[in-house]
Structure 1
Amino acid sequence: MRRILIVGSAGAGKSTLAREVARRLDLPLIHLDRHYWRPGWVPADEALFRAEVAELAAGPAWVMDGNYQATFDLRLSRADLLVLCDPPRLLCLVRVLRRRWAHRATLRPDLPAGCPEQIDLEFLRYVWRYPRRSRPRVFAALRKHAPDLPVVRLRGRADVRRWLGALPTG
């Protein structure tokens, strides 16, 4: 396992898990949010972002977290493992609210400079709708671009602990 892709809803624990997996396996860590967002929450140019993701995914080893469905084809085809962080959506909502409070005066380590933690109604709707709208797109992309890619689905803290405990160390 040299290339691990971690996806899931906002608040599902992707970035936290990615940091721990990268640490345990001594792999480079890539937070896609740091590559997509520009100061003031301005999105990257789609073509430039896609080219950057292709370059990142071409690397020999990485732990990469982020959804960005428009780049699934680039990442799934290179990944050795897909990890879907899939806790209940109510827990994800609680976590994004808790995260907003915790980072009210500091920058999150997985976000670029100039992008302070923020929450709006559209974002909360995204989190709430993730299981019905976005999760099926993950599985559709998987079937299309990497049907034989192993998938680990983590639905809660116990799953995460068990899976992390079974990982080899770097």
Structure 2
Amino acid sequence: MDRIAIIGCGGSGKTTIARRLGTTLDVPVTHLDVAYYDNEWNTLPKEKFAALQEELVAADRWVIDGNYASTMPIRLERADTVIFLDLSPLACLWGVAQRRLRHGGGQNDQTGVYDRITWNFITYVRNYRRTMAPRVRSLIAEYADHAQVHVVKSRHAANALTTRIESGSI
């Protein structure tokens, strides 16, 4: 496990798992939200965002968390491990609420991720499994057929998978 792509809805736990695996495996971690958004919620131009990911995945070892379907093939083609956090909308909304309570919104000092909750974001989370997850599954099938793919459906299963990876049993 040298190149791990962690994908999933907002609030699914991508950042938490990425931090844990990065520490355990001593691998650099990139949170794509940090790369894509600045402190004022401005976005990086799409070409620059794609080029940045091309640079990141050229490294021998990495953990990258984020969804961003338009550039997902860049990560999936190079990943040797894909973790797709396919949690229920309720679990993800709960994760969003917990993150807000923990960090109070704004810039998270631990990860650099800027937390901004809008009605559009809540709608995206609520509809992710119906609208986005099928696209993610299709992208994984098309671009990551060489990788070890783990589809995780609950926080308990995500923690169990992460623990197995940390213990070296995967």
TM-score (norm 1): 0.90
Structure 2 counterpart SS, 1:44: coil
Match of residue 143 from structure 1: 141
Alpha carbons of 1:76 and 1:105: their partners in 2 closer, same or farther (altered >3 Å)? Answer: closer
Match of residue 157 from structure 1: 155
Match of residue 14 from structure 2: 14
Structure 2 counterpart SS, 1:84: strand
Q: Do the aligned residues in 2 keep the contact of 1:33 with 1:110 (CA within 8 Å)?
A: no
Match of residue 166 from structure 1: 164
Identical-pair percentage:
34
Structure 2 counterpart SS, 1:4: strand
Structure 1 counterpart SS, 2:135: helix
Match of residue 112 from structure 2: 111
Map of 1:1-170 to 2, 5 A cutoff? 1-104=1-104, 107-108=107-108, 109-111=110-112, 115=114, 117-167=115-165
Aligned counterparts of 2:32 and 2:54: Cα–Cα separation in 1: 12
Aligned counterparts of 1:130 and 1:41: Cα–Cα separation in 2: 21
Q: CA deviation at 1:169?
A: 5.5
Q: CA deviation at 1:60?
A: 0.6
Aligned residues: 167
**Which stretches in structure 1 are left out of the alignment for 5+ residues?**
none
Q: Do the aligned residues in 1 keep the contact of 2:21 with 2:162 (CA within 8 Å)?
A: yes
State the Cα RMSD in Å.
1.7
Structure 2 counterpart SS, 1:30: strand
Alpha carbons of 1:110 and 1:168: their partners in 2 closer, same or farther (altered >3 Å)? Answer: closer
The one-character-per-residue Cα deviations of 1:84-136 (angstroms, maximum 9, x if unpaired) are 11222101112212212322266313335xx4x22111000000011011111
Structure 2 counterpart SS, 1:77: helix
**Which stretches in structure 2 are left out of the alignment for 5+ residues?**
none
Q: Which moved more, 1:96-105 or 1:28-37?
A: 96-105
Q: Do the aligned residues in 2 keep the contact of 1:25 with 1:169 (CA within 8 Å)?
A: no
Alpha carbons of 1:74 and 1:105: their partners in 2 closer, same or farther (altered >3 Å)? Answer: closer
Q: CA deviation at 1:38?
A: 1.9
